[in-house]
Amino acid sequence: MVRNSGKLANLPTSWRPSVLLSYLGKVLEGIVASRMQETLKANPELLPARQFGWRTTSEVFEYMLDKVYSACVMGKFVTIMGLDINGAYDNIWRQALLQTLAGKVPALDRRDDPVFPF
């Protein structure tokens, strides 16, 4: 591990691996990412409405504001929760996460929510 310059040594985020992808790997990753973005822009139905990883910040805010305004017009309350844990979701047992969240979120708030199937 190599410490990033100007970062405190006692923070885990201050360190990076000393072995990086080869240049060919980086080029291929860039090509694949670019093609995925083009495909998703041409076919937005491929990306679930609630997945924001490939969306711009303005698209996320537009979605959130639409939901908030719609709820206000109908006299409802809005609860917003955001999680941004770098790489954590890739390595987690999804069902356990959903069950844990379901135990914490009141049933009223998730009664028509397809994310919580139970």
For residue range 38-97, what is the model confidence (pLDDT) as tens digits? 888 888 888 887 777 777 889 888 988 998 999 999 999 888 777 666 666 677 787 887
Instruction: Find how far residue 30's CA is from the centre of its chain.
Output: 20
For residue range 18-30, what is the model confidence (pLDDT) as tens digits? 666 677 778 888 8
For residue range 70-84, what is the model confidence (pLDDT) as tens digits? 999 999 988 877 766
